[in-house]
Amino acid sequence: MSNEATLHSQDLHHHGHAADHGHGNGHDGHDHHHEETFISKYVFSMDHKMIAKQFLITGIIWAIIGAFFSVLFRLQLGYPDSTFPWLESILGHWAEGGRITAEAYYALVTMHGTILVFFVLTAGLSGTFSNLLIPLQVGARDMASPFMNMLSYWFFFLASVIMMSSLFVQTGPASGGWTSYPPLSALGDASIGSKIGMDLWLVSMAIFVVSSLLGSLNYISTILNMRTKGMSMTKMPLTIWGFFFTAILGVLSFPVLLSGFVLLLFDRHGGTSFYLSELFVAGKVLPNEGGSAILYQHLFWFLGHPEVYIIILPAMGMVSEILAVNSRKPIFGYLAMVGSMFAITILAFLVWAHHMFVTGLNPFLGAFFVLLTLLIAVPSAIKVFNWITTIWRGNIRFTPASLFSIGFVSTFISGGLTGIWLGNSAIDIHLHDTYFVIAHFHIVMGVSAFFGMFAGIYHWFPKMYGRYMNQTLGFIHFWITLVGAYLIFWPMHYEGMAGMPRRYFDYSNWASFNSFNGLNMFISFVVIIVFATQLLFVFNFFYSIFKGRKLTTPNPWNATTLEWTTPINPGHGNWPGEIPEVHRWAYDYSKDGKDFIPQTVPVSPDESGH
């Protein structure tokens, strides 16, 4: 059988109905495929690679919106006495006279958090790269269920539409913080953002959870069942391990969040009292008794904490891979890396109450959560040391991807270490809900996860579009962002140690916190520059899709993993011929004097072990 015929029969055999969709046309000389419409190729596509691009581009659009919101509220924090007439022209009565109102400020911070945590760093990061890399790196033609995979994106899209629409309702979007603690979020009389905007927020998030579950179940079953011949679990690249643990975390914790949201909806509209008790709001005594506002916080943080690992584990996996490729060295301590990710996954479920040290939690219980929280620093430390050892005595190529990976390790150290402060309840009792917390989590999961995401985009862009992104723009993007991120968040630790509370619209009436006006202005100024730099990246991304330098080799980084054994523009099904067989782990770099040995090369008898 010719190659072409093999492909055809395999496709039909392998995909069943899915074979009708999403074959790349006219590449590598096989143009025999069924006609596909624009809709089936670009819109309702079941090709995991197209779905990955859909997640990524939606995520980029959300990231621009979410980051722009932070610029708006940083203007208020940095320049509280100035007015910006253009704000009134875009925000209307929410910025009367060119200064945003307190209500608008709280809506902006709430939406900033929601968008970045869920829509960008969960859907945009894990959604993109799990979809792109799992089938390509384990050697599968597509996900276990391409249809569910498509649904996962479209549920995300629906959630996005609803969340977006909440920005335009009369009373504004949700404004009780991304955590949306009741009773504030339960009572429309308590806050204007808790009216229809809150309902839209809850419905959108519920649909988001559905999307996440559909995606995660697919990722898990694909990794467990669809690995190519020879690809035992311990031969998988660390990216796949990262996505695998991420998906497990999501499947086990998102349903708990959903239940918390459903109970909140009942409290809002069903007259129940899950979270409500003994309230006197807007001059009226409410009938609710016996509920617990703290119950919501438990349900929320049971996802909320694993969520930060859902965000960071894919980035860890990708950074491990990219550092190894660009150092031309195997990742140091592969099994320890897998083991520490496993430990992080388990511990992620056992630390949620460290967000609740000051809720009146039983102190004895609090002590346990201190222990478990600081315990999670051990696997994190192992990972950091292993990354550093990976670049030690390497032969490092600086690409935008490897630079962002090094940046990731740097910010992960900086932000991780302050976690040791906050995880200790006796320190948290002072620093809780201050700018120290903002500095901590923005560095360790905001900036780090973004660095992981940027690294991934620069590194696998050639696989996605068959073109390179512009390197020089990538270098400029990296250095300004790295320096800017530290300039923005490092000084915030000091504001936090001074007790400066987060989520304050204005500090001018506070004798304790008003000594930071100059610093706040400086931070806001840097925020604007860093935001503009991200637009440079966005431009580079979209420009390179159409005009980037074309790939001339299927394996531009000389990497060992399977995705680079596919054609430059792989069609639906990924490999035109048979799926390659795997004979070795993914990290044979600089072994026995060879620069790299792809996973598909059989182990020769005289090869040294490792």
Partner 1 sequence: MSGYLAVIVVVLIFVVIFQIAKASEYVSILKGEKKAREQSNRINGFLMIVFLVLGLIGVWWCHDLLEGRMLAEPASDHGVGVDSLIKVTFIITMIVFVLTQIALFVFAWKYQEKDGRKALFFPHNNKLEVIWTVIPAIVLTVLVAFGIRHWLKMTSDAPKGSMVVEVTGKQFNWIIRYPGKDGQLGRRNFKLTNESNNPVGQDWADKLNTDDIIAPELHVVVGKPVKLIIGSRDVVHDVGLPHFRLKMDAVPGIPTTLWFTPTITTAEYRKRTGNPDFVYELACDQMCGSGHYSMKANIVVETQEEYDAWLAKQVTQYSVAHPAPETPAGPAAPADSTKAVAALGK
SS3 582: coil
Q: CB of residue 442 vs partner 1: minimum separation in angstroms?
A: 16
- The nearer residue to partner 1, 548 or 573, going by C-beta atoms, is 548
- The nearer residue to partner 1, 445 or 469, going by C-beta atoms, is 469
- The nearer residue to partner 1, 13 or 93, going by C-beta atoms, is 93
- The nearer residue to partner 1, 149 or 373, going by C-beta atoms, is 373
CA 407 to CA 443: how far, in whole Å? 11
Dihedral sign (CA 428, 433, 435, 438):
positive
Per-residue exposure over 1-13, b if at least 16 CB sit within 10 Å of its own CB, e if not: eeeeeebbebbee
Q: Read off φ and ψ for residue 361, nearest 5 degrees.
A: -55, 145
Q: CB of residue 139 vs partner 1: minimum separation in angstroms?
A: 22
Number of Cβ atoms within 10 Å of the Cβ of 190: 16
Q: CB of residue 466 vs partner 1: minimum separation in angstroms?
A: 16
Residues 6 or more apart whose CB falls under 8 angstroms from that of 388 comprise: 409
CA 9 to CA 76: how far, in whole Å? 62
- The nearer residue to partner 1, 218 or 434, going by C-beta atoms, is 434
- The nearer residue to partner 1, 130 or 534, going by C-beta atoms, is 534
Transcribe 223-270 into DSSP letters: HHH-PPTT--GGGS-HHHHHHHHHHHHHHHHHHHHHHHHHHHHHHHHT
- The nearer residue to partner 1, 37 or 89, going by C-beta atoms, is 89
Q: CB of residue 184 vs partner 1: minimum separation in angstroms?
A: 4
Q: CB of residue 182 vs partner 1: minimum separation in angstroms?
A: 8
Q: CB of residue 105 vs partner 1: minimum separation in angstroms?
A: 8
Residue 13's alpha-carbon distances to 9, 19, 267, 297, 529, in angstroms, are: 6, 9, 51, 49, 53
- The nearer residue to partner 1, 168 or 385, going by C-beta atoms, is 385
Task: Retrieve residue 152's tokens.
Answer: 């996962």
- The nearer residue to partner 1, 12 or 282, going by C-beta atoms, is 282
Q: CB of residue 66 vs partner 1: minimum separation in angstroms?
A: 18
Q: CB of residue 608 vs partner 1: minimum separation in angstroms?
A: 8
Q: CB of residue 553 vs partner 1: minimum separation in angstroms?
A: 11
- Please tell me what DSSP assigns to residue 188: T
In degrees, to the nearest 5, what angle opens at C-alpha 212 toward C-alphas 209 and 217?
Answer: 125
Contact 166, 202 (CB under 8 A): no
Q: CB of residue 306 vs partner 1: minimum separation in angstroms?
A: 21
28: buried, middle or exposed (CB in 10 Å: 19+, 13-18, 0-12)? middle
**Comparing C-alpha atoms, which of 461, 460, 451, 441 is closest to residue 407?**
451
Contact 530, 485 (CB under 8 A): yes
- The nearer residue to partner 1, 31 or 506, going by C-beta atoms, is 506
